[in-house]
Structure 1
Amino acid sequence: MPASAADGPGGVAASPEECLRRVALGDREAFDRVYAIFAGPVFGLARRVLRDPAQAEEVAQEVLVEVWRTASRFDPQLGTAQAWVMTMTHRRAVDRVRSEQAAENREARLARSSAVVDYDDVVETVENRLDQQRVRNCLGGLTDLQREAVTLAYYNGYTYPQVAQLLAVPLGTVKTRMRDGLARLRDCLGVGR
């Protein structure tokens, strides 16, 4: 039986550290060995951190792809192959937890802000309708002449001279009706107290 590239001298299985060195050189058989050694522990650690099997599988896959791409960064002087791979796994899993938590927090903030906006819109609509009803009630308390002058000026947008012309009365008369009518509205609405 021929010796595989993942085997050391004499057909003895190479160490994980030696396999990583060979993976850094592009040796696919060495990566197959690294995969066989670390796939289970990587998934197990990811599963313990994430508690979701589907996400743990994704993280395990990402880590093993990262091992393939970055094997040249492994330095046996700094630790074992297992420590290097498991550190990558832990970091990636923790990053996933943080990312998920951040997404949940954003969604919660968005839900709260939209709920507040919806609530505020309803409150504002109700308050506007109540204010409109109060103004209509107070307009009913004005004399017909005062109500006519106020309605033309504030609801129809006419200026005082235009109101005077429409009503065929002197400008001073319009100003007096407006002043008296607005004073009664202010008292009725309780504005300026």
Structure 2
Amino acid sequence: MSAEQARARLAAALVRLGAGDKAALEQVYRATSAKLFGICLRILGDRKEAEDTLQEVYLTLWRRADRFDPARASPITWIAVLARNRAIDRLRRKRTLGPAVPVEAAREVADETPSAEDSLIEDEGQARIHHCLETLESAQRSGIKEAFFGGFTYADLAQRAGIPLGTMKSRIRRGLARLKTCLEAGE
């Protein structure tokens, strides 16, 4: 099955899910769970937290799939953003609560799964994303990558770059607009 056919099947399943079709949830889960788990795991760095977050994502999809508009976003992008946002919310809650054990007590575990960025790009089957990202200014490119694939908030990025929050938001918004134009043009 081509990437375009897979995208169309996923979009159709989301539309059916939005209409209350329970079988569509299983189809969406099978098509996206590995990718979404990778996103959650990369952001949270904890398998249990990633699993819990993934469950929240599918509960949210069950309740809000009717909000998906295939004319506005690709289905995997829409779901991936939902997973990313849930993982970031959980990470923020975790930071607020503080660590359960001292960091010295944790052992390092190598994460051999592909990064969320690599999975999304590969699964979308579009080398154009890399090309279009490379056409952006360096600051826009790094801001978009860190915000959407690194799990950083705009406030975190602005603070790290030493610029006002509004400037960071504008930089990323302009970069996303240029990225969208490039992707739609099929350059």
TM-score (norm 1): 0.46
Higher RCO, Cα 8 Å, sep 6+:
2
TM-score (norm 2): 0.48
